[in-house]
Each structure stands twice: as structure tokens, then as C-alpha cells.
Amino acid sequence: MNWGNPYDWTAVEWQSATWGERFMYIDPYFWSYFGVALALATSIIGASWGIFVTGVSLLGSTVKAPRIRSKNLISVIFCEAVAIYGVIMAIIMIGKVQTIESYPENQMAQCYTTALFGGYSLFWTGVSVGLSNLICGIAVGVTGSGCAIADAQTPETFVKILVVEIFGSALGLFGVIVGIIQCSGASFLKDCL
Amino acid sequence: MLFVLDTMVSAADTTQISASSFFGFMGVTMALVLANLGAGYGTFKAGAGIAAIGIWKPEIIMKSLIPVVMAGILGIYGMIVAVLLSQKVKNPLEYSYKSGFAHMASGLCCGCSCIAAGFAIGIVGDVGVRGNAQQERLFVGLILILIFAEALALYGLIVSLILSQS
């Protein structure tokens, strides 16, 4: 902040501002709320992808083997759990965002960098949680699809392929665990009022 | 135009030029447009299936309309969030960047969840109505999967409503 408050900068200052300064003055609240949206949206896209991949196989196989219908709904429930992980993380992340009412005059840099820290941590938490849940939903869905088709043919294979699905749903849990650790340090009001 | 933390000037200063309403209105539009895309996809995909089976089993057409109705509900979720947000987005003089970004995230959450749910409802509905025409016992399973898919949009709506309060 060589020239004082960047809000007062004119075109002359922006002309000679470095890329680092331009990046740094992107609002921390943008990063945090975009992270929240990414966490939720990509988790739900993963869950939905899993539901339709497994649903079509389930419904198609049930035509000729109606006994598999109720048992294989558990694959759909595993995919739904992925969406719930996304909702839980989104609500945790929203709780971390606090409004900065005012800046202490002598501590402006410290306060702003704490806010930046919070913003960046929430953004990347959103990316990690969202992408993990996306791939988890797809994995559980494709496995569940294979499970339904195999169950329709040979009932003994159901439990064995369910084990593969449980390994798949662990991916979403990894995302949530890492996400909680990643956003635990975000605190907008630590150095500000 | 960069998104400067607007509390760097004092909170009482109401003469600042800001672009906060851009993000607020982006949230309104994303909520509505993406939800409608999902609803439309669900409608046409399931509708193609209903048209296919209606030829040789017309008596189950009314029961098979359930995926289409559930897809239509997604459009209503998008409209709810869009109307709610459009009443909160104000003139940049009274509307902070934080609220703008929160409302943008709110619209994105609702819109993306509804488009995802619409895809699931459409694809599952298409296969489900075709299978239901051949095997009556399939109906309960189809309804259960459609309810799980609709719940995804509901989760998006819930987080959207929480974000719109920021």
C-alpha cells in the first residue's frame, strides 16, 4: 500500500500497480462466498451425477428382476450423503464469515491481511470439498450402477460390490475432514474491530 | 474494475462508487436461469420417455407425469430465490460488497443445485417411465429415486436462503 488507501487511487496509481497488488485488492468476501458456492454446487452436481447414473441401471434392471428394487436404493442413499456433506461444509463455512465493521487506523495492514487469509482459506476449502465430493458422487454412482446390474443377475454379488461403494464414499469423507481443518484458521475479526 | 474492500473507507461514507449490485443481480439471474435450465431438461427428457410409452400404454400416462411435475418444482425454487434476492439488492450506496458477494453465492448455490437435480430427475425419469410401462413394480422405486433427486435442489435452496440473510 505505497500510495495510501487503494480506494482513492486514480488511474495513475493503477497504471503502475503490480499484478500482486491487483490480485491482493480483490475483496476477501468475494473469495469466501465464492468458496461457499463452489463447495455446495460441485457437491450437489456430484451427488446428482451419481444418482442418475445409478438410477438408470437400477430402474432398467428392475424391469426383468423386480426383487432388486429396494435393496439397491442404498446406492442412491450413498450419493445423497455426498450432497449432505456439501451442505454441512457450506454451513460451517458461512459461519466463519464475519462482517468487519471498521478498521483500526494504525493496524489496517494487519486487519486486511487477516481478512485475506480468511478469504483465501475459505475459497480453497470450497474447491477441495467440492471437487472431492464431485468425484465421490460419480464413483459411488458408477459403482452402484454396476452393483444393480450384477445383483439382477447374481444375488450374491450385491454385498461384495457394496464394499467397493463404501470405499468410494470414503473419498467424500476425506474431503470433509480436510475441509474442516483447512477452514479452521479463518477468522475475519481476529485483528479488527 | 477491482473489488476493493469497501470498509477501507469509513462505514458512514455513503458517497462511494462501487460495483456491489453487479454481483447481487448476478445472483438473481443465476438462480432463476440455471434453475429453469434444470427444470427444462427434466421436462423434456422425461417427456420424451412419456411420449415413447404413451403410444402403446396410454392408461399410465397420467401416473408417468410425476417426473415432469417434480422438474417443474425446480423452476419454482429458482423463482423463489430470485424474487427474494431481488428485493435485497439495492443501490450501491446502501449495499456493501459483502452482501453483493453473499447474494451472488446464494444465487449460484440455488441455480447449480437445481440444474443438477433437473438433470438427475430428467434422466432417471426417462428410464423410469419406460421401465414402469413394462414392469408395474418399478413405480415405487422410481418415486423414491425422484424424491432423492428433488432433495438435492432442496439442499441448495436451504443454503441459498441462509446466504441471502448475510
ipTM of the complex in this document? 0.88
Q: Say if residues A31 and A123 touch (Cβ distance below 8 Å).
A: yes
Please identify every stretch of chain A with a pLDDT value under 50, giving residue numbers as ranges.
Answer: 1
Task: Answer whether A1 touches B (CB < 8 Å).
Answer: no
The span from the CA of B44 to the CA of A147, in Å, is 28
Confidence of residue B55 (pLDDT cuts 50, 70, 90): very high
Check residue A110 and give its pLDDT.
83
Check residue B9 and give its pLDDT.
43
Q: Per the CB < 8 Å rule, is A29 touching B97?
A: yes
Task: Answer whether B128 touches A (CB < 8 Å).
Answer: yes
Nearest to A34 among B105, B135, B141 (CB): B105
Judging contacts by C-beta atoms under 8 Å, the chain A residues touching residue B11 are 101-102
Q: What is this structure's pTM?
A: 0.90
Task: Answer whether A55 touches B (CB < 8 Å).
Answer: yes
Check residue B19 and give its pLDDT.
85
What are the cell numbers at A120?
483465501
Q: Per the CB < 8 Å rule, is A56 touching B97?
A: no
Q: Per the CB < 8 Å rule, is A36 touching B163?
A: yes
Nearest to B69 by CA among B115, B132, B122, B30: B122
Q: Say if residues B97 and A32 touch (Cβ distance below 8 Å).
A: no
Nearest to B120 by CA among B143, B96, B152, B144: B152
What are the cell numbers at A146?
454396476
Judging contacts by C-beta atoms under 8 Å, the chain B residues touching residue A115 are 5
What are the cell numbers at B162?
441462509
